[in-house]
A and B are shown apart, each in its own frame.
Chain A
């Protein structure tokens, strides 16, 4: 049985998210009557579906991703072809973008995935390290991590909206009620997202271990090490304004940063990959 730890954690977090959603649905039913149940269910599915579609489109557009030319990057296409077959998924669309930093990410689902790599990543890493990164991203697609995050954020947003309206509709509609509704909505979303982000951090470890099973742990560990070392220096990323605020060892390394991080610390990932 694959990823028993992940399945157990997903059962716990999934139950919690369902409980949050159920409470929100009950509040809506109490406010508007049982007749709104079909509307609530259809609306929830539509809400998450639109978030998924817009998210994928926005992510690719925001970095200006273009198709990775097969003639120029034949080796990468071959690596992904091989890894995809081995992992039992369709070969995802491969794209390249200039992001100002070494980076790669996956969007989409198992049958319609896209992996984007940055030019800076391809310049800085050796071919075997790039393969480690690609294996990690393919593992995200195989494990449906993107879909799970969209679902988690969707539930958090729905619960937050319901909390907001519950505060508004039970108040006197004065200024304090409007203010309180906004604040409560944001706080509720933060609370639900703590659980979603906790599972996201674990999913990173799982994707790392899947990548290690395919190509060994050292290439990905070496890639992470190289990039985290590079973030200490002001290199080619200095030209990008966005990058100045992005360093791994930046200002927010306290408890809050750990609680709301979607990724575990790079040092821990490297340590696990090398174990």
Chain B
């Protein structure tokens, strides 16, 4: 079994789920240090980004889960 394909399947699904379940946290990680943390939220909180950006992050999450499942399916059918 190809280790890299296993990793692609497992890590892809894992990261995809993270993006789906916690888009705001992923945005915080991406924007910290690039944009001031207070910029988009209320004072003293992390901004979670606009609804559009959160949808975009979730869409990337779906793509990652789909990619991971594809490589998983490839492994099982090999």
Contacts and interface: CB of A to CB of B under 8 A. Distances in A.
Question: Which bracket fits the contact residues of A?
Answer: 35 or more
Interface in A181-196: 183-184, 186-187, 189-190, 193, 196
A88 interface: no
A260 B15 contact: no
Contact of B28 (A55, A103, A231, A262): A262
Given A227-B42, A263-B45, A266-B45, A257 B25 contact: yes
Given A197-B32, A246-B48, 12 more contacts: A51-B33, A102-B42, A103-B39, A105-B36, A105-B39, A133-B43, A153-B32, A176-B5, A180-B7, A187-B11, A248-B44, A266-B45
A59 B18 contact: no
Interface of B: 2, 4-5, 7-8, 11-12, 15, 18, 21-22, 24-26, 28-29, 32-52, 54, 64, 67, 71, 74
A138 interface: no
Contact of A269 (B18, B21, B44): B44
26 contacts: A146-B36, A149-B33, A150-B33, A150-B34, A177-B4, A180-B7, A183-B11, A189-B29, A193-B29, A196-B32, A223-B43, A231-B42, A241-B50, A245-B48, A245-B50, A248-B44, A248-B45, A251-B24, A252-B22, A252-B48, A254-B22, A256-B18, A256-B21, A262-B32, A263-B46, A266-B45
Tell me which of A105, A184, A254 has the highest count of chain B C-beta atoms within 10 A of its own C-beta.
A105
Contacts of A184: 7, 11
Contacts of B48: 245-246, 250, 252
Contacts, number: 164
Contact of A104 (B25, B26, B38, B67): B38
B26 to A, nearest CB: 8
Contact of B37 (A179, A180, A200): A200
Interface of A: 51, 54-55, 58-59, 62-63, 99, 101-107, 121, 133, 146, 149-154, 171, 176-177, 179-180, 183-184, 186-187, 189-190, 193, 196-197, 200, 223-224, 227-228, 230-231, 237, 241-242, 244-248, 250-252, 254, 256-257, 259-263, 266, 269
A245 B49 CA distance: 7
Contacts of A193: 29, 32
